[in-house]
Amino acid sequence: MKAREAIDLLAQHRGDAVAVCALGMAANEWWAATKSEDSFYMHGAMGFAASFALGLALALPQAPVWLINADGSLCMNLGCLLTEASQAAKNLKHFVVDNGVYQTVGGLPVVNDGRTDYAAIARGAGFSRVRAIEGLDDLRRQLPGIVTEDGPSFTVLRVESETGFLRTPPMTYEGPEMKYRFGRALERRFGIEVFGPQGY
Amino acid sequence: MDVTARIHEQLTKCGIKLAASLPDDWVAPLIERIAADKAMRHVRVAREAEAVAICSGAFFGGVRAVALMGATGLLTCTGELATLNLRHQIPVFLIVSQRGSIDDHRIYQEVQGRRTIPLLQAYDFPYHVVDRPDEVSSIPDAFETCRLQKRPFVLFLTRRLVKGEAVA
C-alpha cells in the first residue's frame, strides 16, 4: 500500500480523535487527507511528536489522541516507546508509517535499511497491543478494532517507498498560527482553557 | 521546611499538574518528592527532550507542566526547544540544576558552567537563578513570565540552594 492510501484510510476511521503528526511525509499526508485544524503538525523537533502526543494524551484523558508517526522520526527517539509504555495512556494510539526512507529529502534509506522490526521493539518496550500491517485490505479489516480498543497501542503501517521532494505539499500555515489554530480548536471542542484571559 | 518542599509548594501554587523529568543528582530529591505527589502526574523520560515535548503537548491540553533536568540534559534539548517551542511560541517551564558553578568541583560539568548561559542568551531564552531559600517564592512569577513570553524559560537551582554551603 502507499502512504497516501494508508493515511486516507486512517482519516476515514478517525472519528473524533485529535492527531499529532511527525514532521514531513506524515504531517503533509494527514493535512492532505483531513485539512484538520484539531491536528498538530510538527515542523521540527524530529522524533518528538511521540512525546508531544503523550503529553497531550495525559493532559486530555477524555480525548482520543492519535500519533501519526513515521519510521525516520521513530528512529530518532526510540526511547519514546519506553515512556509511552510506562504511562499506559488508554487514549493514545501510535501509528508508524514505515516506508523505509526519508521521503521528503529524496528517498534516502532510513538507518538499518529493511532490517528493523519496529513491532518487536514496541513489544520489548512493554506495549501489549502491537500490530504490523502490510496491505490496505488488512488495514481496512483491523482498523475498527484498533479504534475501539483501549490504548496504548502501536501499529506499524508498512508502505511502499516513494521518492520525490515534497510529493505532497505541507499545510498552509505554520509557527504561531498553528499553535493558536490548534489550541483554539481544542478549547472549542473540550471546553478547556489553553490560553489565558489575555490570550497567551 | 526544607528547600525541596518549598520548591514543590511553589510548583503547586503555580497550578502545575504534570512533571516530566530526567534526574541529575542535584534535582533528584525534588523529582522524588514530586513523584510521591498524587496531585501531579509524573512522567519519567528516557531523554530530556522528551520532557520538553511532553510539557508542550500538555500545554495544549490546558495542563500546566514543568520539565526537570540537569544542565547537561538542557544542552541536549536545545534543538527541540528551538524548533518546537521557539518556532510555535509554545511556553515550556524548565527547572534545571546550574552545574559547573564555582562551587561545583566536577570536571565533567565545567563546560556546562561556562557555556550554558551564553547559549540561552544566543537563543533568547529567558532564565532566572534561584540561589537562596527565600528566593524560591519567585517561582510563580517565573512561571507566569514563561507563559507571557511564550518560549522556554529556565529556572536554575544553584548548588548552594539544593546542597547547602560548600565545605572547603
Question: For residues B164 and B25, what is the distance between their CA atoms, to the nearest angstrom?
Answer: 14
Cβ atoms within 10 Å of A139's Cβ, excluding its own: 23
Kind and range of the H or E run holding A28: helix A25-34
**In b/e form, how buried is each residue of A72-106, taking b as 16+ CB within 10 angstroms?**
bbbbbbbbbbbbbbebebebbbbbbbbbbbbbbee
Q: How far is A102 from chain B (nearest CA, A)?
A: 19
Each residue's pLDDT, cut to its tens digit, for chain A (200 residues) gives 999 999 999 999 999 999 999 999 999 999 999 999 999 999 999 999 999 999 999 999 999 999 999 999 999 999 999 999 999 999 999 999 999 999 888 888 999 988 999 999 999 999 999 999 999 999 999 999 999 999 999 999 999 988 765 568 889 999 999 999 999 999 999 999 999 999 99
Closest alpha carbon to B35 in B53, B22, B52: B22
Q: Note the pLDDT of residue A104.
A: 82
Interface of B with A (CB under 8 A): 17-18, 20, 41, 43-47, 49-63, 65, 79-80, 82-84, 87-90, 147-148, 150
Residue A4 C-alpha cell reads as 497516501
Report CA torsion sign: A84, A138, A72, A24: negative
Instruction: Identify which of A48, A63, A176 has the shortest CB distance to residue B88.
Output: A176
A5 Cβ partners below 8 Å, 6+ apart?
A136, A159
Assess whether pLDDT exceeds 90 at residue B165. Answer: no
Whether A182 and B60 lie within 8 Å, measured CB to CB: yes
Give the CA-trace dihedral at A5, A8, A9, A13, to 10 degrees: 170
Provide φ and ψ at A76, rounded to 5°.
-75, -15
Q: Note the pLDDT of residue A14.
A: 96
Question: For residues B19 and A198, what is the distance between their CA atoms, to the nearest angstrom?
Answer: 25
Assess whether pLDDT exceeds 60 at residue B152. Answer: yes
Assess whether pLDDT exceeds 80 at residue B67. Answer: yes
**Contacting A residues, span 12-71, partner chain B, CB-CB under 8 Å:** 20, 40, 42-45, 47-60, 63
